[in-house]
Amino acid sequence: MRLNQWIGCLILGWLDSTKRIGAFAIITLVVTLTQWNKSAFVLRPLVARQINRAGLLPLPMLTFLGVALGLVVSGQTVALLSRVGAVDYAGVIMVSVIVRELGPMVTVLLVLARVGTGIVIELSTSRALGEVEALEALGIDPIHYLVMPRVIGLALSVFSLTVYLVLIALISGFLFTFIQDVPLTPATYLAQMSASLRWEDFVLLGLKTLSFGVIIALITCFQGLAHAVRLEEVSYVTTQAIIGSVVACVLIDAVFIVAYLVL
Amino acid sequence: MSLSSLIEFSDATVGGSGRFLDSARIERITWSVQSGEFWVVGARPRVGKTDLLATAAGLQRPIAGECRLFGSRLEDLSDSERLAHRLRVGIVFENGGRLFSELTVEENLALPVCYHRDCSAAEAADLVARVLELTGLTRVGQLKPAHVSHPLHQRIALARALILNPDVLLIDSPLFNSDPRQTGWWLDFLPSLAAGHPLLEGRGLTLVVTTTDFRPWLASNRSFAIIHRQRWEILGELPQLEQTDHPLARSMLTGCWNDSDQADFI
């Protein structure tokens, strides 16, 4: 196959996948809106389980990443700022880099690696073993039972974990400046950050993290459920789901960068 | 259409599922399942028995012709009506019954009850215990399917289908890969369901069973059909079955398989 044909096939394949994931997202949205409170005795524990799995169990790892992120960003920037006498901008840089960019992205990648892969594997295995058809045979909507709790759970989890990671990173960043004897008091650091934070930051951070959670849940569930897979294809669809999720998160991030620039 | 038809196929072609969605598996089926009947459908493995039952249960549409459940085409019904119709048909899948591996046996049974009645597992516990007791599964209730011997899996799937109190039960190859003890249980239990089991408060259940061997199912008041080379053929009741000259039906009646039949079972 020639290069231009290969690129054309690749683009058409991506467009087709995007269309199908879009249709899957619309179906999930309709089911979520119309069956929000249906079978609450069954669905609420499933949502709680997803929140526990994606929002609580990764906390130790997230704490480690938050500390490391704060140290790395602070370590790289504060030394440079001290050299040019611009320590006053330490808080501003921490907000720009951690709150707006790295915090949400690191969090979603952690949740994707830890929970997203698990979702694709369990759903595609269930599909391959015919358990999804068994749900339908019992009159249980697989979108309602399998997808909706994961979408809600992951959206809330990515949002909560991002807030937690950002706080940890900002604190560890300040601790690094303290250890390095940089003349920056906690009050000044806080004042710098509060001055650089705008109301849009909170709104966009919330929207971005919720979008990240929804999109990785949708793509992993789609890859797990939408194809008639055989057991030997589980690893392939898992890889596809992870690649698709990372690309989708980067694209969403790009949209939010534009939003930051416009607002 | 007969008024008492629970399931009716009119010149229907059953397609495959999954990656074989649009390919015809069984062509031109004309078949009516009446209330109280006990159908035994014979076929070699992998010819589309599961797809036939899935279509009869309203889980997939025929790719040609028409299939009606309780007198209605599912596509003509609203979502709630379609769900109500589908819940009146229970289906037990072959080879393990497709149990939910994450849930215990009790949870497998409680799930459809809790989902449709919006009740807690504690509220469904009495019903679950009763169904487990009547199907002889009480001792495995707390176990996950992986810890239960495989021949019992389809029996658990039967209990899960029965808990929704269906009018029609479609059972896919219950005796396939079954040990003699389980075979005996199925052959005793299914006629009791058809006759009116205490589990159903004496109401007789309409049954459709698929098989690769007619011999265990030979009894009066049963209707027989066969799928062979993508064709559907109704053979009639036991006296007509015994007179048939259909080659595959003869093999299934006598247990004498020719070479091509044998190859299909490997």
Find the mean pLDDT for residues A44-50: 96
Which pLDDT band holds residue B20 (cuts at 50, 70, 90)? low
- Which residues, 6 or more positions from B42, have their beta carbon under 8 angstroms from its beta carbon? B210, B211, B212, B213, B214, B224, B225, B226, B227, B248, B249, B252
Helix, strand, or coil here: B3? coil
A153-203 residue pLDDT tens:
999 999 999 999 999 999 998 888 888 777 788 888 889 888 888 888 899
Least-confidence region, from A10-24, A131-145, B104-118, B251-265: B251-265
Contacts of A134 in chain B (CB under 8 A): 93, 97-100, 157
Strand order in the sheet with B64-69: B72-73, B64-69, B5-15, B24-34, B231-237, B223-228, B38-43, B206-211, B168-171, B89-92
For B93, the closest chain A residue by CA position comes to A134
Query: Does the pLDDT value for residue B107 go beyond 90?
Result: yes
Give me the percent of chain A exceeding a pLDDT of 70: 100
Q: For A86-173, where are the E strands, in sequence order?
A: none
Contacts within 8 Å (CB) and 24+ apart, A115-119: A115/A53, A115/A54, A115/A58, A115/A154, A115/A157, A116/A154, A116/A216, A116/A217, A116/A220, A116/A241, A116/A242, A116/A245, A117/A220, A117/A238, A117/A241, A117/A242, A118/A53, A119/A150, A119/A217, A119/A220, A119/A221, A119/A224
Contact B87 A133 (CB under 8 A): no
Q: Taking all residues of chain A, what is their mean pLDDT, rounded to a whole number?
A: 91
Q: Domain map of chain B by residue range?
A: 95-168+180-186+196-204
Least-confidence region, from A71-75, A146-150, B16-20: B16-20
Query: Does the pLDDT value for residue A44 go beyond 90?
Result: yes
What is the reported pTM?
0.89
A48-87 residue pLDDT tens:
999 999 999 999 999 999 999 999 998 888 878 878 878 7
Report the residue from B93, B111, B164 with minimal CB separation from A130: B93
Find the mean pLDDT for residues B159-179: 93
Contacts of A139 in chain B (CB under 8 A): 83, 86-87, 112, 115-116, 164
Task: Using a CB–CB cutoff of 8 Å, tell me whether A39 touches chain B.
Answer: yes
Distance CA A92, CA A81 (A): 12
B118 vs A179, which has greater pLDDT? Answer: B118
Q: Provide the phi-psi class of B29: left if phi over 0, else alpha when psi is between -120 and 50, else beta.
A: beta
Q: Taking all residues of chain B, what is their mean pLDDT, rounded to a whole number?
A: 90
Q: Which residues pair with B14 in a beta bridge?
A: B26
Q: Which amino acid is at B67?
A: C
Q: What's the confidence (pLDDT) of residue B18?
A: 63
Find the mean pLDDT for residues A199-209: 93
Which pLDDT band holds residue B265 (cuts at 50, 70, 90)? low
Contacts of A145 in chain B (CB under 8 A): 115
Q: What's the confidence (pLDDT) of residue B1?
A: 45
From the CB of residue B139, how many other CB atoms can be counted at a distance below 10 Å?
10
Contacts of B18 in chain A (CB under 8 A): 228
Give me the percent of chain B exceeding a pLDDT of 90: 69
Contact A145 B115 (CB under 8 A): yes
Question: Which class in CATH covers the domain with range B95-168+180-186+196-204?
Answer: alpha beta
> How high is the ipTM of this complex?
0.89
Query: Does the pLDDT value for residue B178 go beyond 50?
Result: yes
How many Å lie between the alpha carbon of B91 and the closest alpha carbon of chain A? 7
Contacts of B114 in chain A (CB under 8 A): 39, 41-42
For chain A, positions 117-146, list CB contacts with chain B under 8 A. Answer: 122, 126, 129-131, 133-140, 145
Task: Using a CB–CB cutoff of 8 Å, tell me whether A33 touches chain B.
Answer: no
Query: Does the pLDDT value for residue B262 go beyond 70?
Result: no
As a whole number of Å, the CA-based R_g of chain B is: 18
Q: What's the confidence (pLDDT) of residue B30?
A: 95
Would you state the structure tokens that stand for residue B24, as one six-digit string? 């015809």
